[in-house]
Amino acid sequence: MSLASLRVMVVEDHGFQRRMALRLLDELGVRAPMEAADGAAALSQLDNGQPPPDVVLVDLDMPGMDGIEFIGHVAQKRLARAVALVSALDPALLNTVQMMARAYGLHVLGSIEKPLTAEKLQALLERYEEHLQQGVQEEHVDIDIGSLRHALRVGEIVPWFQPQAEFANGKVVGVEALARWVRHDGHVIGPQHFVPLLEADGLAEDLTVAILDQACHWKRHWQDKGLRLNLSVNVSPATLHDPAAADRYQQLVASHGLATTEVVLEITESLLMADAARGLGVLARLRLKGFGLSIDDFGTGYSSLSQLSQVPFTELKIDQGFVFGAHSQPRKRAVVEASLDLARKLQLETVAEGVETVEDWQMLAGLGCGMAQGYLVGAPVPATELAETVRRWRRPD
């Protein structure tokens, strides 16, 4: 997709600044952008059954319906594919609004500080194109639970792999296995659409075993070809209620001729843990057997410090919501710095998720982060494409 084919809307109450944005978009080749002077007027245009715009550029401080309320309506009604904030307001407020929009499931490109320039707009719109090419943008998917059970049973739910590179030397040293539903018609469905349904249906353990088994198969395959990579696999906290889980996972890994010391099990911090006593016992046994344990999405839950003190984690993954854009947002950078400092004191490995720009890479490298995971290094890809993805990767200067 070229910039000329993008559908863009500008929502800005200040007449001069709105005209300036339209002129800059025209210079970049964006044809016939939509415009509105306030949130209510923009909603009336969007809510008319026409195809949604690709990107909505919205000011926050507008009379009547402000930009925050407007974004809430857009997200809930799916009236746009992505939004970007155009504002000179406090960065902490802008960050909060971005987090709100993402919580609604809306793709957020970031924020642009006023005054607008062609360079700022071009970088923003190109970011949308990159995400689109990498398959991040998905339409709403209606899923029948019967079809989902069948998909798990016949092997349509498979791991895709996203590389992890060391900041110190740029070498790809690991991959995270991420579940994808590859339907018989070739359509790929992301995990946010089906994993919660499987967990609610009592199939969390079946999903974990299926992904771990397939991921170990591919790790062994790459290893035999000379590509040695550590493997990270997500484990649903629902599986931690089974005392036999540690033995089962150990046997599965061993069946592929692999060592548990090369496998990291990721547990999402915001979901850990319903049955603390039993869960802690399972996690302790996993560590005893050699598995690494990673606290995923660190900082997004409300019990981060208590979890770190109770669970024998070996790795801390900093959530992408804090990483992306941290080089230019002091509050995000402060969270990243504090997380890395805490990890060092607890002697944990560190992985930053959502590394998408050279600027963020350079900032994280300077702060002493261990590994990077994100679209700068590589998007999640099918197993057959991973070796080529690793080959193409070049460390930023």
Residues annotated as part of the active site: 353
State CA 176 to chain mean position distance. 12
Residues 6+ apart with CB under 8 A from 32: none
**Residue with the two structure tokens 């970011």:** 127
Question: Are 264 and 292 contacting, i.e. CB atoms less than 8 angstroms apart?
Answer: yes
CA–CA separation, 32 vs 48, rounded Å? 18
How wide is the angle at C-alpha 185 spanned by C-alphas 179 and 190, nearest 5°?
A: 25
Q: Which two tokens stand for residue 9?
A: 């809307």
In eight-state DSSP terms, residue 116 is P
State CA 347 to chain mean position distance. 25
Long-range contacts, stretch 171-175, CB < 8 angstroms, 24+ apart: 172/229, 172/377, 172/390, 172/393, 173/229, 173/230, 173/371, 174/229, 174/230, 174/231, 174/232, 174/264, 174/371, 175/229, 175/230, 175/231, 175/232, 175/386
SS3 (DSSP) at 144: coil
CA–CA separation, 312 vs 286, rounded Å? 10
Strand 371-373 and strand 157-166: the pairing is antiparallel
Rg (CA), the chain: 22
